[in-house]
A = this chain, B = another copy of it.
Amino acid sequence: MEPILKGRGLVKRYGKVTALDNCDFDLYPGEILAVIGDNGAGKSSLIKAVSGAVIPDEGDVFLEGRKVKFTSPTDARKEGIETVYQTLAMSPALSIADNMFMGRELRKPGFRGKILRQLDRSRMEQIARDKLTELGLMTIQNINQAVETLSGGQRQGVAVARAAAFGSKVIILDEPTAALGVKESRRVLELIQDVRARGIPIILISHNMPHVFEVADRIHVHRLGKRLCVIDPKDYTMSDAVAFMTGAKQAPDLAA
């Protein structure tokens, strides 16, 4: 099968630091691919390179077999690739609804929308509220609250809800549950499975091994800026995975 999203020979350097060192990467249709690795291994750099947030120094990215050159996240979004970055990418002073619909606002129907270009605030707010409720983020008291007034976890929930609502081809989640509570994390995992059920493949970066092993179809182990191996969670234990990614144990061949 042809990977839906593929990276080959990706290199990204920051001054003296090599974040991606000739890295390959494959995501197959309909799967949940987990990416695991030490802090600083280059996981975020990898997904930034495939989602247009950084332009790799070398290497190519292929979407459905076509070579693509994303120069901004907007390019990737236009292709249906939606990403939750580790830094969340929210405008702190704007409201939750504003943030969720940033760059794809809904306009009122008819004259007011077409000619006056007026936004349909109530519809956007309603949708935002629904998405957050789906995630169980029920402690948010006011949908018009500025994002900067949310707790760390609430903020992350909003970002995940945004990606899930809009991704049509690939959804990338960089540590989506890092700041989430037990309940909210669980909802995100359920959401991930819902999304896969809709046929959309997902890349999930996470340090939470039980979560990874619960939902992933394949696990990409990242180490020192490159793909060390890809394993099937049914064939290996969490201990094995941790041992590979920390270098405690020799990794198997790339297969899986």
Contacts and interface: CB of A to CB of B under 8 A. Distances in A.
Given A38-B153, A40-B154, 18 more contacts: A14-B149, A15-B149, A16-B141, A17-B142, A17-B145, A37-B181, A38-B181, A39-B154, A39-B180, A39-B184, A40-B150, A40-B153, A152-B175, A178-B179, A179-B207, A180-B207, A181-B245, A208-B208
A27 interface: no
Contacts of A40: 139-140, 150-151, 153-154
Nearest to A177: B207
Nearest to A155: B39
Contacts of A15: 149
Nearest to A43: B151
A152 B39 contact: yes
Contact of A86 (B41, B152, B157, B175): B152
A139 B38 contact: yes
Given A151-B44, A152-B86, A175-B152, A139 B182 contact: no
B44 A149 contact: no
B246 A39 contact: no
A12 to B, nearest CB: 13
Nearest to A208: B208
